[in-house]
Amino acid sequence: MTKGDLAAMEALYLIKIGEIRLKDGNRAEFENRLKRDIKRRLSSFHSEVSSREGRYYLKVDEEHALKAEFALSRIPGINGWARAHKMPKDMTRMRAAAIAAMEPLVAQGAKTFKIEARRSDKGFVLDSYGIARELGGTILERFPTIRVDVHNPDAIIYVEVREKAYVFSDPSYGMRGLPIGSGGRGLLLLSGGIDSPVAGYKMLSRGLALESLYFHSYPYTSKEAWEKVRDLASNLATYSGGMTLHTASFTDVQLKIKKDALPEKSTLYLRACMMMAADMVAKGRGLNAIVSGESLGQVASQTAENMRFTGSYTDYPILRPLVGTDKEDTIRLARSIGTFDISILPYEDCCVLFSPKHPVLKAKYDEERAEFDGLGFREAVAQAVSTMETVELPFTFTPPQATAVQR
Ligand code: ATP
Ligand code: MG
């Protein structure tokens, strides 16, 4: 097939939305956000997004089908999508389409199936039961090795008869959640670790648009450490549709901590300084929340007492979507979203280098507040924020792989 032939064909997708369906008053706003997000990501070629009777459809030229599928799998607010065959309401055409939809599923090993038919055009010759029976018979004839199982089928072929007939197979999973931006805009504290990218992903899926903030301590941390964080941010950009990454140098802050604070307090104070910086960045950028990858009890700095102390340096809500998540589950999610292999690259992040052997586990709130405030970190933190560098990472169809930074 030539490129010209491909362009002449079109790929049609049926999109299933999730929680947006449950919205009453402002559903239109959620839907418009979602449509805009789809169009924006596919803006490098022609696409059409339409909705009818609570269903969404996306149409692109066949040559862009894989890109469209990549985007649909990563857009918050989309529960699932399926490649659809659209045709006139004619049983012969519908039989052919059912066979075409079933073919790849049989090739993938499906042994059982069912047809799920819906008919909103009540004038059609067959009712939904009749459609299912007819098309089921067609499939059994064409694929003699498979059988019907209405309770627990390996594959489902969906048929809908409305202004046209649509046939489509099992939907692929989407990211679910709510459209980007519907939950406001937050600042993700993004380190090179496993947790914070996953925390960012989880908040994106709740509709929180994100910017990221990374603290480095050059020359104590390497350029590779920054590149790793950039690749993590680029990966998140494939879910958020683009990502702004701020990098602030915390070298002076860390040196001051080392000079003025007891070693066992350095991690705690560093976290407080990070929170203070995040607060300044969030105010400067007009954001509404701070997101962190903390999980209760995972490391010394992540006890409730310490979170109370560090959290007191901002009045923004601190969203910690992993606070109750087991590390194994976080790792599983990191693998499935594609950040794990990048996160485990060896480059040190700034905190490790200055970490004490026996950090304070339970900050005594009033005592620490007085001591920390007495050391006067605000100026060094403000300096780090005022000199931070910002890069815009675009949405791309090719997320960075770990190999891109492994030298
Ligand atoms: P992660 O795997 O996300 O690095 P972690 O388990 O290593 O988390 P900590 O190092 O205690 O935990 O960091 C807790 C949170 O603080 C991180 O999830 C991240 O949100 C933030 N954080 C830590 N270091 C940095 C950094 N250098 N720049 C920006 N944020 C950071
Ligand atoms: Mg870390």
Model-level pTM greater than 0.85?
yes
Q: Using one digit for the tens of pLDDT, what is the confidence trace for 41-93?
A: 999 999 999 987 667 899 999 899 999 999 999 999 999 999 888 889 999 99
The ligand minimizing its distance to the Cα of 359 is: 1
| Protein residue with its CA nearest to atom 12 in ligand 1 | 294
**Of all helices (H) and strands (E), which one includes residue 189?**
strand 185-189
| Protein residue with its CA nearest to atom 18 in ligand 1 | 293
The token duo for 172 is 């692929």
Cβ-based burial of 22 (10 A; exposed 0-12, middle 13-18, buried ≥19): exposed
| Protein residue with its CA nearest to atom 9 in ligand 1 | 294
- pLDDT for res 403: 47
pLDDT class of 404 with cuts at 50, 70, 90:
very low
Q: Using one digit for the tens of pLDDT, what is the confidence trace for 259-294?
A: 999 999 999 999 999 999 999 999 999 999 999 999
Alpha carbon separation from 203 to 20, 41, 338 (Å, rounded): 16, 19, 16
Cis peptide before 219 (omega within 30 of 0): yes
- The full length of the chain comes to 407
Q: Which of 191, 221, 322, 350 for a ligand 1 pocket mutation test, highest count of atoms within 8 Å of Cβ?
A: 191
| Mean pLDDT, residues 358-382 taken together | 92
Q: How far is the CA of 192 from the centre of ligand 2 (A)?
A: 6
Q: How far is the CA of 225 from the centre of ligand 2 (A)?
A: 12
The token duo for 42 is 């596919």
Q: Which of 187, 196, 295 for a ligand 1 pocket mutation test, highest count of atoms within 8 Å of Cβ?
A: 196
- pLDDT for res 171: 78
Spatial separation of the C-alpha atoms in residues 292 and 208, rounded to whole Å: 13
Helix axis angle for 266-285 and 251-260, nearest 10°, is: 140
- pLDDT for res 51: 85
The pLDDT of residue 378 is above 90:
yes
Q: How far is the CA of 287 from the centre of ligand 1 (A)?
A: 20
Residues lining ligand 1, CB < 6 A? 189-191, 193-196, 213-215, 274, 292-294, 298-299, 301-302, 349-351
pLDDT class of 350 with cuts at 50, 70, 90:
low
The ligand minimizing its distance to the Cα of 294 is: 1
- pLDDT for res 6: 45
The pLDDT of residue 1 is above 80:
no
Q: Closest by alpha carbon to 343, among 271, 401, 292?
A: 401
Q: Which of 189, 268, 275 for a ligand 1 pocket mutation test, highest count of atoms within 8 Å of Cβ?
A: 189
Spatial separation of the C-alpha atoms in residues 104 and 122, rounded to whole Å: 31
- pLDDT for res 352: 58
Q: Using one digit for the tens of pLDDT, what is the confidence trace for 187-222?
A: 999 999 999 999 999 999 999 999 999 999 988 888
| Protein residue with its CA nearest to atom 23 in ligand 1 | 191
Report the phi/psi class of residue 264: left, alpha or beta, with left for phi > 0 and alpha for psi in -120 to 50: alpha
| Protein residue with its CA nearest to atom 1 in ligand 1 | 193
The mean predicted confidence, pLDDT, of the chain is 90
Ordered structural domains, the chain, with CATH: 3-173 (3.30.2130.30), 185-405 (3.40.50.620)
Residues 6+ apart with CB under 8 A from 371: 265
| Protein residue with its CA nearest to atom 6 in ligand 1 | 195
The ligand minimizing its distance to the Cα of 272 is: 1
Q: Which residue has the tokens 């459809």?
A: 57
- pLDDT for res 359: 82
| Mean pLDDT, residues 103-122 taken together | 91
Which residue stretches of 11-122 are H helix? 27-41, 65-72, 91-107
Q: Which residue has the higher pLDDT, 399 or 303?
A: 303
* Phi and psi, residue 369, nearest 5°: -55, -50
| Mean pLDDT, residues 17-36 taken together | 83
- pLDDT for res 8: 54
CA 10 to chain centre: 27
Residues lining ion ligand 2 (Cβ < 5 A) are: 191, 193
Q: How far is the CA of 147 from the centre of ligand 2 (A)?
A: 52
- Please give the order of strands across the beta sheet that includes 389-394: 318-319, 289-291, 185-189, 209-216, 242-249, 389-394
